[in-house]
Structure 1
Amino acid sequence: MALLYTANTSLDGYTVDSSGSFDFTVPSEEVHAFINDRQRPIGTYLYGRRMYETMRVWQELPGDRDSEVVADYAGIWQAADKVVYSATLPEVGTPRTRLERVFEPDAVRSLVDASDADVAVGGPTIAAAAFRAGLVAQVELFVSPVSVGGGLPALPLGVRLELALRDQRVFENGTVYLRYDVSPPAA
């Protein structure tokens, strides 16, 4: 199995803008359905505190007004295990979730190696630690057709990544999907 990183990003490479908003990445139904299919095989999500706090809304969905696509993703998220890395979060409040105080690369490597399903790292901050440790095998970017001019970068600064394009798709709303394999770091 492998450690995967998926991010919704602006064309200029940010997951959130300078005010912390990610509303520019809200996917269309078509894009969301595609994301669901890509996320369905994930057995475990690794999150930092902020990403976990953003994602835990999926535990309460779907609501009466939510689409089938939203309901489908809620089921995918609820069925997966979650590991949250935070030194400040007092506790986690969702099932199938455990809290770790420190991101330990060797422990993550062991978790991925022992898993019978792929593991996904969510959120650019915790992903940066995984990239620096050479743990990420694949990157999936959903690039929204907007430039936000600054914010939190999708890919880590100060880390050189050798990427090989493996798949791409353009959606009706202008979003572009890019999937890359990550070459292992040079020894």
Structure 2
Amino acid sequence: MRRLTYGMNVSLDGYTAAPGGDLGWGVSSDELFQWWSDRVAATGTALYGRRLWEAMDSHWPTTDQQPGATPAQVEYARRWRDVPKVVFSSTIGTVYGNARLVTGDAVAEITRLRAEDGGPMDVGGATLAAAAVRAGLVDEYALVTHPVLVGRGTPFFTALDHRVDLTLVETRTFPGGVLLTRYETRR
């Protein structure tokens, strides 16, 4: 059984994006950027909701070819392109590169993917992740909490039908007061 991790940048008040999809508050230090890059390199399959896919796909496919791209950005862009991706959406028609589109039942597809052989999977995008959380499919949560309050926006966690017990497995502080907390689901 493959492991599924839900991990994203999150504001201290629990949002993955501020109103209007604003992500500008989640600025990474070099050390945090490297942590995200290493995480992408270790991912067997990345699962994306439409909005996060569109944000990532608008930037990373060609970042390594842009003038002024840093070595870390070049490395991340290459790693991001290499990881197989599954995009869940009923509103976009095609994806390209190392990605495939799923328009049907996300929970059924994630369940099927977890049962396959392969490396760990990451789910990103609060709406898609919420479906996986409600279905009990998430094995680990990685919250990268930034010291900012955005007031409202897209919550990291949505309402649940049941309690989910977790065990803290790692904490790490990054420059700028950013805190990583990783939790495993108790089964």
Same fold (TM over 0.5): yes
Query: 2:19, 2:106 → 1: CA distance?
Result: 29
TM-score w.r.t. length of structure 2: 0.92
Contact 2:47/2:121, CA 8 A, preserved across alignment: yes
Q: 2:175 aligns with which of 172, 175, 183?
A: 172
**Residue 118 (structure 2) pairs with residue 116 (structure 1):** yes
Displacement of 1:114 in angstroms is: 1.1
Structure 1 equivalent of residue 10 of structure 2: 9
Structure 2 equivalent of residue 182 of structure 1: 185
Structure 2 equivalent of residue 161 of structure 1: 164
Displacement of 1:58 in angstroms is: 1.0
Query: 1:170, 1:67 → 2: CA distance?
Result: 23
Deviations 1:70-97 (A, max 9, x none): 11111111111111111110211x3111
Query: 1:156, 1:66 → 2: CA distance?
Result: 36
Displacement of 1:115 in angstroms is: 3.2
Structure 1 equivalent of residue 38 of structure 2: 37
Query: 1:52, 1:107 → 2: CA distance?
Result: 17
Number of residue equivalences = 183
Gaps of 5+ in 2: none
Query: 2:31, 2:105 → 1: CA distance?
Result: 34
Q: 1:151 aligns with which of 125, 135, 153?
A: 153
Contact 1:144/1:176, CA 8 A, preserved across alignment: yes
Query: 1:13, 1:106 → 2: CA distance?
Result: 27
Displacement of 1:157 in angstroms is: 2.2
Which residue identity does 1:6 align to in structure 2? Answer: G
Structure 1 equivalent of residue 80 of structure 2: 77
Query: 2:159, 2:81 → 1: CA distance?
Result: 32
Which residue identity does 1:139 align to in structure 2? Answer: Y
Query: 2:102, 2:27 → 1: CA distance?
Result: 29
Which residue identity does 1:71 align to in structure 2? Answer: V
Structure 2 equivalent of residue 26 of structure 1: 27
Contact 2:88/2:106, CA 8 A, preserved across alignment: no
More displaced stretch, 69-78 vs 103-112: 103-112
Displacement of 1:161 in angstroms is: 2.5
Query: 1:73, 1:161 → 2: CA distance?
Result: 32
Gaps of 5+ in 1: none
Query: 1:22, 1:163 → 2: CA distance?
Result: 27
Q: 1:74 to 1:115 in 2, by over 3 A?
A: farther
